[in-house]
Amino acid sequence: MGSHDVLPDCRTRERTGLVATARGNMVPIYCGSCGKIDGYVDEKYCTHAFALCVPCSEKYGDIAHFYKEPDEVFWARIREAEAAEEVPSDLILLAKELEDPSSIASKLAEDWRRHVLKGER
């Protein structure tokens, strides 16, 4: 495949429009044909993204010789990649806070346990 066959990256160069989520930063992607926003990709796991919005895909058809991956397969691959990593440091810090009975996290956890046990009676 020559360099002329490479699809353009549909993310912004300056990574503007990032959305912070519990999973990390999500980068907006834009339709490679009309330029309208067409969703978000995980900044940590995505190095290149090309997208066609539904109207452009219906108007021009799918791009020849390119595999189209269903969303559920893509997200399953993301979950596998995340599971293969070590435990994130923020979870380690939370575990340490929960061990300290004077921390706010520990007090909230104890209140929650009392609330749950109260509901089981």
Q: Write the pLDDT tens digit of every residue in 97-121.
A: 888 888 888 888 888 777 766 655 4
Q: At residue 110, what is the residue type?
A: E
Q: Are residues 78 and 104 in the same domain?
A: no
Domain assignment present for 2: no
Find how far residue 106's CA is from the centre of its chain. Answer: 29
pTM of the model: 0.50
Cβ(30)–Cβ(51) below 8 Å: yes
Q: Are residues 76 and 111 in the same domain?
A: no
Domain assignment present for 22: yes
Q: Write the pLDDT tens digit of every residue in 65-79.
A: 666 666 677 777 777
Q: Are residues 16 and 65 in the same domain?
A: yes
Q: Are residues 50 and 75 in the same domain?
A: yes
Measured distance CA(35)–CA(27) in Å, rounded = 15
Q: Are residues 11 and 26 in the same domain?
A: yes
Domain assignment present for 18: yes
Measured distance CA(96)–CA(79) in Å, rounded = 25
Domain span including residue 50: 7-84
Percent of the chain with pLDDT over 90: 12
Q: Per-residue DSSP letters for 24-36?
A: EEEEEEE-TTT--
Overall domain count for the chain: 2
Q: Are residues 32 and 72 in the same domain?
A: yes
Measured distance CA(45)–CA(78) in Å, rounded = 7
